[in-house]
């Protein structure tokens, strides 16, 4: 039976995403009884602010999940693999932002606007999809429902914050040095300099020349849609912006969807903000995502090279909807569907 308030832990509370998770819980007035920030033992005793009050960080160890109803993780795959089962054992439902559980067949991979009913078969751990996958499926699901998507070609333009705090600092340091010297600088985080550049290399290269990031988009999208027949060809690129992932998406559908029909469909879809008036320079950009929770869609046009094709430009804040917000929305949906074990 649902409760009025829930005890919530945020694991990795001092990181970029953990900090945004705390802000998101505050902003959405999440029904929290006790708020418990957890982080690596070395950070125990530090403080975070929740609803204007300082709260001491505790060590992310098994005993500190006692009496926790919902544990939202942003601590990396290694920590999640070790700690998430322990949190479940202590009675919590885990929403995990790492790669650890996404493709586990025992764990539903959920975007609440897309496949909330998959939460019904969770066994204690609900992984959060990859940031680039989340915004793509939010935009594509209404079109998939209307015309059944056969094929997706997507190029991502991903912000430096996708690499965490080190990605943000690395971009800043590179830019400052480049502006001082005017010469190519040593890369701080990526394989080559990111400042004033575009790097078509996110995560590790795998077979057939695709990166792990690109393979994530394939497997995760098929899992979320429950349809392995959808063909997906991604290229993931890091660009020198702080926040906001952009995606150029081309889809082919079984049933014809005109650009006007797509605009109408997307204007009514949950989680989407339509910004599509290019004649007046209205289209989404990464800067627009800084204070925006919705996934923005624009530049909708028909692909003139095939019969049933559409092109879209999709932008979303990778730290908000791409991580913290989606995790909190999963927790909210678990509560609404009375799927929190208490």
Q: Are 11 and 92 in contact (CB under 8 A)?
A: no
Domains in the chain, start-ordered, CATH in brackets?
Answer: 6-129+323-336 (3.40.50.720), 133-318 (3.30.360.10)
**Of the candidates 72, 69, 5, 76, which has an alpha carbon nearest to the alpha carbon of residue 38?**
72
* pLDDT at residue 210, as a whole number: 97
Strands 295-302, 309-316: pairing is: antiparallel
Helix, strand, or coil (residue 20): helix
C-alpha distances (whole Å) from 193 to each of 85, 160, 206, 292, 310 are 39, 12, 22, 29, 34
CA atoms within 13 A on the CB side of 173: 13
- Beta pairing partners, 237: 157
CA distance 111 to 138: 8
* pLDDT at residue 342, as a whole number: 52
Helix, strand, or coil (residue 96): strand
CA distance 109 to 101: 9
* pLDDT at residue 132, as a whole number: 97
Catalytic residue among 107, 122, 131, 144: 131
122 in catalytic set? no
* pLDDT at residue 1, as a whole number: 62
Catalytic residue among 122, 144, 190, 245: 245
Radius of gyration of the chain (CA): 20
The token pair that represents 218 in the structure block? 């394939």
Residues contacting 22, CB < 8 A, separation 6+ = 10, 13, 35, 37, 48, 49, 50
DSSP conformational letter for 99: S
Q: What are the mean pLDDT values of the chain's consecutive 10-residue runs (342 residues total)? A: 89 94 97 97 96 96 97 95 97 96 97 98 97 98 98 98 94 98 96 98 96 98 97 98 98 98 98 98 97 97 98 97 97 97 64
CA atoms within 13 A on the CB side of 19: 7
């Amino acid at each position: 039976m649902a409760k009025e308030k829930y005890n919530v832990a945020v694991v990795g509370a001092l990181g970029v995403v953990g900090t945004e998770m705390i802000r998101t819980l505050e902003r959405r007035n999440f029904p929290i009884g006790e708020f418990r920030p957890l982080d690596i033992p070395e950070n125990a005793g530090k403080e975070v602010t929740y609803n204007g009050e300082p709260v001491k960080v505790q060590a992310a160890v098994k005993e500190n999940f006692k009496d926790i109803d919902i544990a939202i993780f942003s601590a990396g795959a290694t920590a999640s693999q070790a700690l998430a089962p322990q949190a479940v054992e202590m009675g919590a439902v885990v929403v995990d932002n790492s790669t650890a559980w996404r493709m586990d067949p025992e764990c539903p991979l959920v975007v609440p606007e897309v496949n909330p009913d998959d939460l019904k078969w969770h066994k204690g751990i609900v992984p959060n999809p990859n940031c680039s996958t989340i915004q793509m499926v939010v935009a594509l699901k209404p079109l998939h429902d209307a015309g059944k998507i056969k094929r997706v070609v997507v190029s991502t333009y991903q912000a430096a914050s996708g690499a965490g705090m080190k990605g943000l600092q690395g971009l800043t340091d590179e830019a400052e040095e480049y502006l001082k010297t005017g010469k190519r600088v040593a890369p701080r985080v990526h394989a080559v300099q990111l400042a004033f550049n575009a790097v078509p290399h996110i995560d590790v290269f795998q077979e057939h020349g695709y990166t792990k990031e690109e393979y994530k988009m394939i497997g995760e999208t098929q899992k979320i849609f429950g349809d392995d027949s959808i063909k997906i060809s991604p290229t993931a690129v890091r660009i020198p912006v702080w926040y906001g992932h952009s995606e150029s998406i081309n889809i082919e559908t079984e049933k014809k969807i005109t650009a006007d029909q797509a605009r109408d469909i997307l204007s009514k879809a949950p989680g989407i903000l339509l910004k599509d008036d290019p004649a007046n320079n209205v289209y989404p950009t990464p800067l627009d995502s800084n204070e925006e929770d919705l996934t923005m869609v624009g530049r909708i046009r028909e692909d003139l090279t095939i019969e049933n094709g559409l092109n879209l430009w999709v932008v979303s804040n990778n730290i908000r909807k791409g991580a913290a917000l989606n995790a909190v929305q999963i927790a909210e949906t678990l509560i609404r569907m009375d799927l929190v074990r208490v």
